[in-house]
Amino acid sequence: GVVAEIKSKVDLVELIGSYITVKKVGKHYSALCPFHQEKSPSFVISPERHMWYCFGACHEGGDVISFVMKWENITFYEALKELARRANVQLTDARFNDREWEKQEILYKINNLAAEYFHYILMKTPLGKKALEYLKTRELNDKIIETFQLGYAPDSWDSLLKFLKKKKFSEEDILRTGLIIRSE
């Protein structure tokens, strides 16, 4: 789809580098985090994974779209429009009206929250303890686990649903993400 096309056409390092100074360190790039005050760089970009992450105060990361959203404090759709312009990708299709994208944006938010939720369970709760120990035996350190927001889904069919409903998302929107399915 158009999101994947934009992501493949926009060079993440080049884009972030157009806003802040980035420096190559091995396979990655590092910079002073633009989202909090710091003196030594804890902001990392992985061109391979098309991801950025702040290991400092923010403990937050994402893709090219989320960077632009955060940098300019704009919505998913607005960021997409701007990136489409940069990448010369047409968003003029009738399907891409604002209402459609508002719906898309909700899905994006739900998916992000779900990732945070499972990550929290892995890192901070007794439920995730075994999984976390397993990851350590596979030599996945905390940095990697944080960067890729690895998570643990507990053996409980409705915990995510309850969590997302508490965050005021409708059951209909949650179902649309495919994170949850209705059983017979």
> DSSP letter at 40?
S
Is 123 one of the binding residues for Zn ion (CB under 5 A)? Answer: no
d(CA 34, CA 54): 9
Count of residues that bind Zn ion according to CB under 5 A: 6
Q: Which region, judged by CB under 5 A, interacts with Zn ion, from 49-57, 62-70, 97-105, 115-123?
A: 49-57
CB atoms within 10 A of CB 162: 10
Is 33 one of the binding residues for Zn ion (CB under 5 A)? Answer: yes
Is 36 one of the binding residues for Zn ion (CB under 5 A)? Answer: yes
CB atoms within 10 A of CB 122: 21
Among 12, 15, 45, 54, binds Zn ion (CB under 5 A): 54
Handedness of CA 68, 100, 177, 90 (dihedral sign): negative
Q: Cβ 52 to Zn ion, closest distance in Å?
A: 10
d(CA 45, CA 28): 6
Q: Cβ 145 to Zn ion, closest distance in Å?
A: 18
Query: Among residue numbers 142 through 181, which ones bind Zn ion (CB under 5 A)?
Result: none
Among 56, 63, 71, 104, binds Zn ion (CB under 5 A): 56
Among 3, 58, 107, 179, binds Zn ion (CB under 5 A): 58
Is 35 one of the binding residues for Zn ion (CB under 5 A)? Answer: yes
Judge contact between 79 and 72, C-beta under 8 A.
Answer: yes
What's the full length of the chain, in residues? 184
Is 9 one of the binding residues for Zn ion (CB under 5 A)? Answer: no
Q: Which of 49, 11, 9 is nearest to 28 (CA)?
A: 49
Q: Which residues bind Zn ion (CB under 5 A)?
A: 33, 35-36, 54, 56, 58
